[in-house]
Amino acid sequence: MSLSENLIGQLSDAIGWAPAWSITATMLVAAAILAVVFHGGALGILTAVFSHRAIYVQTLLRRTRRLTRVITIFAAGALVLQVAPLGEGARSLWSSVLGAVFFAIAGWIAMSAVHIASDVYLARFRIDVADNLRARKHVTQIRILRRVADTTIILLSLGAGLMTFESVRQYGVSIFASAGAAGLVLGFAARPVLENLIAGIQIAVTQPIRIDDAVVVEGEWGWIEEITGTYVVIRIWDWRRLVVPLSYFIQNPFTNWTRESASIIGTVFLHADYTLPVEELRAYFSELVKEQPLWDGKVAVMQVTDATERTIEIRALVSARTSPEAWDLRCNVREKLVAWIRENRPESLPQVRSSAMDDWRTCANGAIGDVVMENADDMN
């Protein structure tokens, strides 16, 4: 007989008066406490050993602290239940519980591995720089695939854990084996989840949208702020948030201004009188754009794009590195152009020429008066 068996036998004799469930509970609590103490000591030793080197090992130990603690407690509990005074029914129940916990821990390990690997991969990319197209592409792809992986791991772990119980396993088999109404109800209930899951995979692969893209959705202009496993958060220009299901971007048309590049062309429209010297305004516009720090030096064009019965329409195109900078650049250029026209060519501002109408009415009234006088003379 081994030493451990002798100790367990002596302990059973000492507390043999207590019921089996209380003995088992006491043993589990004691094992959990010892496991936590052991885990804390081991983690402290490893942290001290790698305190001045292997920064990645320190990060790994810090991020898996809770996971390794749960694993240690689970191992101690499994060992205790092997020698606990349990009957066949209770031992079978605890065996199923341990199996479910094992699958939950396995899923936790898989999710932690996915998160750590994705974070290490994304550490090389920055989306807070001007030319961030490549970084946004990888960040969007990895984040969506990580959420899809999390959802898959959770579903598999939950299903495997529940199937360790005999009653649940039989019920699950009867549902999945059935081709009747239960299967149809389950399919319709899971449709939104599966639809968004598949849409997430499609978006990760084809990437019609990326993190920080400038888009127009449902008439609202904003930036892609977050892409989750089921929905997309769009930050509107006035700080509102538009929440859209993932499947929307697969099934509906929308505008993506930064699909191929973070650079964007802004448009400024002006309306002026026909007397405006366009060449002078164009020369001022060229000098103005060169002084703007937000201009990326690529596009600066001014053209007359329309002419109505009262005014001409002038369109100025300017390019910037990002959509927020393009918005500010458009506002600055518009303000400066309006100020130049007002100060240098005020007569070229939009106006209604009522004086011509007054002259016509004066002439018409004079002609009518002459006709009346002539008729009166004839009558006399």
Q: Is 185 left (phi over 0), alpha (psi -120 to 50) or beta?
A: alpha
Length of the chain (residues): 380
DSSP 30-84: HHHHHHHHHHHHHHHHHHHHTSSS-HHHHHHHHHTHHHHHHHHHHHHHHHHHHHS
pTM comes to: 0.57
What span, in angstroms and rounded, lies between the C-alpha atoms of 95 and 86?
A: 11
DSSP 10-25: HHHHHTTTS-HHHHHH
Q: Is the pLDDT of residue 52 over 80?
A: no
> Of 39, 23, 112, 110, which Cα lies nearest the Cα of 74?
39
More confident residue, 192 or 266: 266
> Of 337, 298, 294, 291, which Cα lies nearest the Cα of 314?
337
Query: In the CATH scheme, what is the code of domain 264-348?
Result: 3.30.70.100
Q: Is the pLDDT of residue 79 over 50?
A: yes
- 179: confidence class by pLDDT, cuts 50, 70, 90: very low
DSSP 258: T
**Residue 75, φ and ψ in degrees, nearest 5:** -65, -45
What span, in angstroms and rounded, lies between the C-alpha atoms of 96 and 54?
A: 40
More confident residue, 11 or 202: 202
Structure tokens at 61: 């130990």
Name residues whose C-beta falls within 8 Å of residue 216's C-beta, 6 or more positions apart in sequence. Answer: 254, 255, 257
> Of 141, 133, 107, which Cα lies nearest the Cα of 323?
133
Helix or strand holding residue 4 (H, E): helix 3-14
Residue 296 identity (one-letter amino acid) = D
Which pLDDT does position 30 carry in this prediction?
86
Mean pLDDT in residue range 222-229: 86
Other CB atoms within a 10 A radius of the CB of residue 273 amount to 17
Q: Is the pLDDT of residue 6 over 90?
A: no
Q: Is the pLDDT of residue 300 over 60?
A: yes
Q: Is the pLDDT of residue 241 over 90?
A: yes
What residues does each domain of the chain span?
3-158, 264-348
- 49: confidence class by pLDDT, cuts 50, 70, 90: confident
Mean pLDDT in residue range 283-298: 93
Q: What's the number of CA atoms in the CB half-sphere (13 Å) around residue 299?
A: 18
Mean pLDDT in residue range 102-112: 92
What span, in angstroms and rounded, lies between the C-alpha atoms of 176 and 265?
A: 55
End-to-end CA distance of the chain: 154
CA dihedral sign, ordered 124, 127, 133, 136:
positive
DSSP 107-130: HHHHHHHHHHHHHHHHTT--SSSS
Average pLDDT taken over every residue of the chain:
80
User: Is 106 buried (19+), middle (13-18) or exposed (0-12) by CB count in 10 A?
Assistant: middle
